[in-house]
Amino acid sequence: MTQIKRQPNPKNCGEAKVIPLTLNSLKVACSQCNLQELCLPLGLSETELGRVDTLVGARRKVKRGQHLYRAGDPFEAIYAVKTGFFKTDVLLEDGRDQVTGFQMAGELLGMDGISVEAHTCNAVALEDSEVCLIPYEQLEELSSEIRTLQRHFHKVMSREIVRDHGVMMLLGTMRAEERLAAFLLNLSQRFMARGYSSAEFHLRMTREEIGSYLGLKLETVSRAFSHFQEAGLIAVQQKHIRILDATALKQLLNRQPI
């Protein structure tokens, strides 16, 4: 039951607290977690799951606006979102930045850090959140013993690569409204997979963050929302979204630009 040492942090603000593992918190470790079908332990047997419980060492609360990790932080663990919502972003030297993804419950964060043993992007909570720490050293150890875990971890990383290809596609070939439609449908589908409504949800991110992710300016995102609303595809009120015509949204994607 290893607890990851907190990284030393010059400024003492904006950082999250590690919750040491107690009998109480163990109750929500993987074998009892209702996210297990979406998360790392997918497909493990009862006994294997028991061993993964010993891997997931501690949980950590991250308040809205706080960083889970920052680019440059030493890489020690990957994180599974237990509750809440995160964004990851990359920062260029010249100040430009881009949101590379949004993560919700059951999704993993931090795999970018393995390559150079340091995180290469920032992870910020968009609402009060809680994550499970998965110390990487131990994950390696356990996954060399449990083949299913190794296989599944590889799949998770591979899925991340495939997801990134999808974003590249979106950024490289789609027009503004297609990008937003794809984004909404993707969110909708992920909320559904978690048992929430696929038709009605609350955006945790600002128009600017959506724009950054989609390679658009916030005004363009706002205009696209308004246009979708006028066309009767969705109902928007600030961050509250209701999808009225999912089929039409999907058709927007399959339309040839020429």
Partner DNA sequence: AAGTCACTTTGACCCAGATCAAACGACAGC
Partner DNA sequence: GCTGTCGTTTGATCTGGGTCAAAGTGACTT
CA angle 133, 138, 140 (to 5 degrees): 115
Q: Tell me whether residue 77 is exposed, middle or buried, using C-beta atoms within 10 angstroms of its C-beta: 0 to 12, 13 to 18, 19 or more.
A: buried
- The single residue among 24, 238, 247, 256 that binds DNA, judged by CB under 7 A, is 238
What is the C-alpha separation between 111 and 120, in angstroms, rounded? 10
- The single residue among 177, 184, 187, 228 that binds DNA, judged by CB under 7 A, is 177
Choose from DNA, its own copies, none: what does 206 bind? Cβ within 5-8 Å by kind. Answer: DNA
- The single residue among 4, 18, 199, 218 that binds DNA, judged by CB under 7 A, is 218
- What's the Cα-to-Cα distance from 197 to each of 84, 180, 190, 236, 250, rounded to whole Å? 16, 19, 10, 15, 18
Rank residues 8 and 95 by Cβ distance to DNA and give the closer one. 95
Applying the rule CB under 8 A, the residues between 150 and 179 that interact with its own copies are 150-151, 154-155, 157-162, 164-169, 171-173
Alpha-helix runs per DSSP H in the chain: 23-26, 46-55, 136-145, 147-173, 176-193, 207-214, 218-230, 246-254
Q: Is 144 in the site for its own copies (CB under 8 A)?
A: yes
Q: Is 235 in the site for DNA (CB under 7 A)?
A: no
Closest distance between its own copies and the C-beta of residue 105, in Å?
20
What is the C-alpha separation between 132 and 155, in angstroms, rounded? 19
What is the C-alpha separation between 101 and 64, in angstroms, rounded? 16
Q: Is 90 in the site for its own copies (CB under 8 A)?
A: yes
Q: Is 112 in the site for DNA (CB under 7 A)?
A: no
Q: Is 160 in the site for DNA (CB under 7 A)?
A: no
Q: Is 244 in the site for DNA (CB under 7 A)?
A: no
Q: Is 220 in the site for DNA (CB under 7 A)?
A: yes
Six-digit token string for 175:
């027009």
**67 phi, psi to nearest 5 deg:** -85, 135
- The single residue among 226, 232, 242, 251 that binds DNA, judged by CB under 7 A, is 226
Closest distance between its own copies and the C-beta of residue 246, in Å?
17
Choose from its own copies, DNA, none: what does 238 bind? Cβ within 5-8 Å by kind. Answer: DNA
Applying the rule CB under 7 A, the residues between 185 and 204 that interact with DNA are 203
- What's the Cα-to-Cα distance from 141 to each of 4, 26, 67, 120, 145, rounded to whole Å? 16, 21, 28, 24, 7
What is the C-alpha separation between 1 and 26, in angstroms, rounded? 11
Which residues contribute to the site for DNA (CB under 7 A)? 175-177, 203, 206-208, 215-223, 225-226, 236-239, 257-258
Which residues contribute to the site for its own copies (CB under 8 A)? 90, 92-98, 100, 111-116, 120-121, 140, 143-145, 147, 150-151, 154-155, 157-162, 164-169, 171-173, 212-215, 253-257
